[in-house]
Every structure is written in structure tokens, then in C-alpha cells.
Chain A
Amino acid sequence: MSIKEVFHRFKQERIAFISFIFLVMLSVVAIFAPFIVPYDPNQQDLVNVLANPSLSHWLGTDNLGKDIFSQVMMGTRTAIQASIFAILIPLFIGVPLGIMAGYIGGLVDDIFMRIIDAIMAIPGILLALGITAALGISLWNAMIAIGIVSIPQFARLARGQTLQIRTEPYVEAAKISGAGPLWTMYKHIIPNILPPILVQASVNISFAVLTETSLSFLGMGAQSPQISWGSMIEQAYSLINLNPWLIVYPGIATALTVMAGNFVGDGLRVAIDPKLKG
């Protein structure tokens, strides 16, 4: 199974491929948001409050005349940042732990799995809330918390995959021919467990975005002037009598991103293992 083959099959999963392109576009927006926003998202314009969508304000303005479209774009940045944290932290902490546990096996593995299972019993949002509150309320700490909460999922997956691959003939052969554990992990195990980890990473975007917006909604994430779709929804709620549409835009942005993460995950799963299709 080459990467080319996987990519070819992934391209045929139409919804997944479109979602992938959507996520790439979001990332581009996230990177360049401060330079490409039509208005400074925190710039008040008291002449143009609660304006309807128009050519100059694509999604209208809020009660202080701030441009909604620019805010949604800046919110993209926060959501993508949270997703990156939620992938990188478990990738560099959870995956190595999981590989080691699976490779060593025995009692170490038993204890490791007990710990992972126990932590996974804790509802993610509660743990994230606890960690954020302890570290101190800030967007940065909320993202760290989301990353930490994602660790067990990745560790568990890496461990399961390692257990499977550890007994494959080519790994046994490498071991017999004198390859040390680190070399075996680097050369044989990591490349082979990468595809399912990639699926998990993509699905985890959904968890990250939903948790980030929830924390920001509660005031535990983005702090003004930082902008998150969650805090946008929170502010819009006080204006529902004036303009209920203000809730709709950040909500749809959140949902589209969450769906895209899930679709890419599903598509990747099928592309990696075509037997799953159907």
C-alpha cells in the first residue's frame, strides 16, 4: 500500500475529499486572517450597527458595528489553532507512550491500559475545564487542556496497532537480525501505525473545535479581543431579540468544520482499508 494509492482512493471518496479541501482552505484563512480580513474585527462602527448583510459587510455587523464576516474569519484562526494543539500534543506524548506500552507488553502494558481506560471514563469537557481552571483561564491554557485531554485516545490507538504489528514476520525478522527496540520502533512500527493515527487526528479536529467553542462560550477560552466562534455565539445570544442571525454564522462555521473533520476521517479510513467500504 503506497501513499500514492491511498491518496488516489481518498480522492474518490468525494465528500471526504471536498471536506479535506475545505479544511485546507480554512487553514489558509487561519494563517492569513489578520491580513485578509476586510475590516479589523474589533473595530467599532457605531454608524453601522446591526447592519444587514450587504456588499460592504457580507454577513452584516453586530451591535457595535463590528464586521461579522471578519470575526468569523478570525474565529477560524482560533479553531484551527485548537485543532493543531489537539493533534500535536497527543502525537508527541500519547503516541510514543502507546508504542512503548504495546512494544514492552506484559505488566507494563496492563497498567498502562488501566490508566488510559480510567482517564477515558472522564468526560472530556469536564477534564478540559478542570485543567484550564487550574492552569489559569486563558485561550492558550484551554488549548493545552484540549491537547492533554486528547492524549489517551491516541495512546490507546498507538498501543493497539503496535501490539498487532509487533508479531508480524518482518518485525520478528528485524529483531532476529539484531535490530534494537528503538530502531524497530522507528523503522517498522511508526510507519505502519501512522495511517490509523492520521484517521484519529482528523476525527480529533471535531473534538477540538467543539471543545474550544464550548470553553470559549463559557468564557474559559478566548478572552476579548481574541475571537472564537464560541464567544461570538455567546455574545450573539444577548442580541437574539435584535438579530437572531448573529448566532447562525458562527454556529454553521463550527458545524462545517466539525463535519469536515469527521468526513475526512471516514474517507481516510476507507482509503487506507478498502474492505471497510459499504
Chain B
Amino acid sequence: MFTKYLLRRLIYVIPTLLITTFVVFSLILLIPGDPVVALLGENATPEKIAQLQEQMGLNKPIIIQYGDWLLNAVQGDLGRSLFTGEPVFDAVIGRLGVTLQLVVISTIISVSFGMLFAVISVYFPNNLLDYLARFVSIVGASFPNFWIAMLLVILFSLHLGWFPSTGFTNITDNPGGFLKTVMLPAISLGAIGIAVITRHLRSSLLEVMESDYVRTAYSKGNSRWKAIFSHGLRNAMLPVVTTIGIGFGNAIGGTVVIETIFAIPGVGQLAVNAILQRDFMILQGVILILIMLVIIINFITDIIYAILDPRIEY
């Protein structure tokens, strides 16, 4: 039964893949004028222009161009960097690990703090802590992530000197160093997630706490604390699973800005540098692979949701 459900969801993903890849491909159609000249600059040699024209197959109909491009992409051929000549796929995949580490830590931070604030807020209604949690849930989503990053740098690197303000250490190289370098960027990236999860989980918890089974749990003599933890949270988390998935996607988008501030050599920084160097192929590759990642995460979120919610029939 479950395998059948899994298969059906997988088939669902196919149109999403086709449409998003088409969007990424068609970005090149937005380039005004002759894209080859625009990409290579006015001083490009005729050979280089001919080579890129050949590579992009620009004289064919759009749908054929897309088909060719997709076929190559599936085989890991996303073209070559216009700047360094390096294969785009290698450049992006080589930096993906760093970005993934950052995004995973930021998601862990937003989920744990989001849960903490939501539980505190529901456990102490109309208490100072409740107001604080609600304040965080509004403010955390209102400031730009790069601004939060800067405040953290001013406070924790420049004044207190606890964390470095730039750079990145891989978790496999040095776990302690990794934690030190990942902390500030991950918090800045996860701030909006903390806010959104707090708000969503709080309202979901409040609703669940009114339900019959929680009232039953009370009447059996359970404490408020136990009612929240063993009955409330489990059920309230269900709708929040989707929020966490969306937050993961947003965090992936946010790496573009955060990696630039902290000089983290991930794909986000690669994308920004690519734009500054007018290396459209690299930018396209980064966007494509990040979107694939988001689609995979959305798929996993769907599956987790189905496993957690017994009401969903496979």
C-alpha cells in the first residue's frame, strides 16, 4: 500500500520537474538582444561565439533547445563556465556540501527554537514569556536576514569574540571549528524559520489543547506539562511539518545572501559571484540544482506527513 502511495507521489513530481526545469532553461530567453553576444561580451572572438552558439543550439526551435538542454542536464552536463571553462555541474556539486551543512543546521535551529518558543507561549499564556515569544514570532520575520547577520557579527564576533565573522570549516575537517563557523550564519538564516514555526505551532497547539483528548488527559490527572508534551505537541506538530519543509526551501534561497556576508564558499556565494562575472551558465546551474534540492525536500516532507498522519489513506 505504502509503496503504491510512494509511487503515485513520485509520478506527481515529474510535471513539477519538467516545469521548473523549463523555467530555469527559459531564463536565457529573457536576455535582451543576442544572448551569445550578451554572455560573452562585445570583444569575444568569432570562434568563441560560434562555439557557444553550437553549445546552446540557439538556431533550433525553443522546445527542441529545451529538450537537448534537459537531456544533457540529466546526464550531468550543464555546460561550461563562461569565465573559468570549468564544467558547471562539477563547480556546483563541489560546493553543494558546504551549503547543505549550513541549511541543515539552520533548519535544526529554527525547528528547536520554534518549538521552544511555541511551547513556552502556550504553557505560560499572557505571561511575559508568552509576549516575548509572540514578539519574536513577529520581529524575526520582519528584519532582512542579512541585517540580523550583521547584528550577530557585531555582538558575537566584534564585541564578544566568540565566533569568527567570516569563513567556514567543514564538519568532516574539524567538528568544533564547524560549529564555531556555522553558528552565526545558521542563526541568521534560520531566524525567519524560528518566527514562522513559532507562530504556526503556537496556533496549532492552542487549537489542539482545546480538543477532547487533551481534556481527557487532564481529567485523568495529568499535569499541564504532560498534556502538552505527550498529547498536544505530537498532534500539533503535524501541520507544522509542511511549514518546516517550506522553511527549508526558504533557507536554501537565503544562502545567496548569507554566504556572501560570511564569505562561505557554498553555492549561494557561487551564484552571486557568477552574476558579478556575468557567468550566466554557472548561475543557471546553481538555480537548477537548488530547485532540485527543494523539490526533493518537498517530496520528503509529503512522505513524512503521510507517515505521521494516520488519516491519510495510501
Chain A contacts to B: CB under 8 angstroms: 114-115, 117-119, 121-127, 129-137, 206, 210, 213-214, 217-220, 230, 233, 237, 240-241, 244, 247, 251, 254-256, 258-259, 262
Contact = CB atoms under 8 A, between A and B. Distances in A.
B23 A259 contact: no
A126 B261 CA distance: 17
Nearest to A240: B154
Contacts of A119: 19-20, 23
Contacts of B24: 130
A3 to B, nearest CB: 28
A55 B158 CA distance: 30
Contacts of B158: 240-241
B27 A130 contact: yes
A233 B146 contact: yes
A217 B112 CA distance: 29
A249 B228 CA distance: 41
Given A126-B290, A130-B24, A134-B28, A118 B144 contact: no
Given A121-B298, A134-B31, A259-B142, A126 B291 contact: yes
Contact of B15 (A118, A219, A254, A255): A118
Contacts of A125: 253-254, 256-257
B291 A122 contact: yes
Does more than half of chain A's interface fall in helix, strand or loop, or is it mixed? helix
B291 A254 contact: no
B32 interface: yes
Contact of B256 (A122, A129, A135): A129
Does more than half of chain B's interface fall in helix, strand or loop, or is it mixed? helix
Given A213-B144, A233-B144, A255-B142, A129 B150 contact: no
A135 B275 contact: no
Contacts of B18: 118
Contacts of B27: 130-131, 133-134
B16 A117 contact: yes
A247 B256 contact: no
Contacts of A137: 275
Contacts of A213: 144
Nearest to A15: B138
Interface in B253-285: 253-254, 256-257, 260-261, 271-272, 275-276, 280, 283-284
B49 interface: no
Given A125-B257, A131-B30, A210-B144, 4 more contacts: A123-B290, A126-B256, A240-B150, A251-B151
Contact of B16 (A118, A130, A256): A118
A145 B189 CA distance: 22
B231 to A, nearest CB: 22
A237 B19 CA distance: 39
B249 A123 contact: yes
A114 B290 CA distance: 20
A255 B143 contact: yes
B308 interface: no
B256 A121 contact: no
Contact of A121 (B249, B271, B275, B280): B249
8 contacts: A114-B15, A125-B257, A133-B280, A237-B261, A240-B150, A251-B150, A254-B143, A255-B143
Contacts of A247: 147, 150-151, 154
Contacts of B150: 233, 237, 240, 247, 251
B162 to A, nearest CB: 17
Contact of A126 (B16, B28, B143, B287): B287
Contacts of A129: 256, 271, 275, 283, 287
B252 interface: yes
Contacts of A133: 27, 275, 280, 283
Contact of B30 (A134, A251, A256): A134
Contacts of B15: 114, 118
A252 to B, nearest CB: 8
A130 B20 contact: no
Nearest to A136: B32
A117 B32 CA distance: 28
B132 interface: no
Interface string B282-305: 011001001100110010000000
Contacts of B254: 123, 125
| 3 nearest CB pairs, A to B | A123-B253, A118-B19, A134-B30
A218 B257 contact: yes
Contacts of B141: 258, 262
